[in-house]
Structure 1
Amino acid sequence: MGIIRFSPLSSKNKHFSKLQGLCKRNKLDVPKGYIAVYVGEVHKTRFVIPLSFLGYPPFQDLLRQSEEEFGFDHPMGGLTIRCHEDAFIDLISRLPVS
C-alpha cells in the first residue's frame, strides 16, 4: 500500500490539503463524515474521502463500473475501487468538498 503524494496545491485542488493529512492517518482513524477507500489495480493506495463524494453522479458511475467488473469483494477491509490512481485523483479533484 503506497502513500499519497499530492502536487503543490493550486486553486483547482485546494481541498486536497485537508485530504492529504487524512490519508496519512492510522487505518482506524477515519474522522466522522469520511470513508476510507482503497484504489488501484494491483497495489492498493488508501484514500480518506468525504462521504459527500458518494452522492455525486461521476463517483457513483465509478463505483458502478468497479462493481460490474470486480464485484464487491473487499479484502482490504474497506471499499475497494479498481482503477488507476491517476484517474481516481482526477475525478475527486473535480468534486466539491461539502
Structure 2
Amino acid sequence: MGNRFRSMVSQSKKILKLQSFITRPASLTDVPKGYCAVYVGDIEKKRFVVPVCYLNHRTFQDLLSRAEEEFGFDHPMGGLTIPCKEATFIEFKSQLNAS
C-alpha cells in the first residue's frame, strides 16, 4: 500500500511537471497557482480547474492511474485527460469539496 501511494505521488508529480512544459494558448493560462487543468468526458471533453490537493486523494489517484493506462503522458488537450464520465467527475469533486 505504501509503495503504491509513493508511486502514485511520483506519477502525479511527473504529470504536473510535464503539464508545466506544455505550450498553451493565452486563453488556457488562467490556471491559478496550486491548481491544475483536467479534461473530463467521453466524447466532448470539458475543462475543470482543480486544486492540486486532489492529488493526495485515493480516488483521484485511481483516476490518474486510469489516465496513464489509457493515454500515457501524452495529453493533446494541454492538461490531464481523465477517462471518466463528466457526471461522475462532478460528483467526485462535490464529495471532495464537502469533506
**TM-score of the superposed pair, with normalisation by structure 1:** 0.65
Whichever residue aligns with residue 66 of structure 2, its letter is Q
> Which residue is 1:83 aligned to?
84
> Which residue is 1:44 aligned to?
45
CA distance in 2, matches of 1:94, 1:75: 28
Q: Which secondary structure does the structure 1 equivalent of 2:96 belong to?
A: coil
Whichever residue aligns with residue 36 of structure 2, its letter is I
**TM-score of the superposed pair, with normalisation by structure 2:** 0.65
**Which structure 1 residue ranges, 4+ long, deviate > 6 Å from structure 2?**
none
Higher helix fraction (1 or 2): 2
> Which residue is 2:96 aligned to?
95
Consecutive unaligned residues in structure 2, runs of 5 or more: 1-26
> Which residue is 2:58 aligned to?
57
Q: Which secondary structure does the structure 1 equivalent of 2:42 belong to?
A: coil
Whichever residue aligns with residue 29 of structure 1, its letter is D
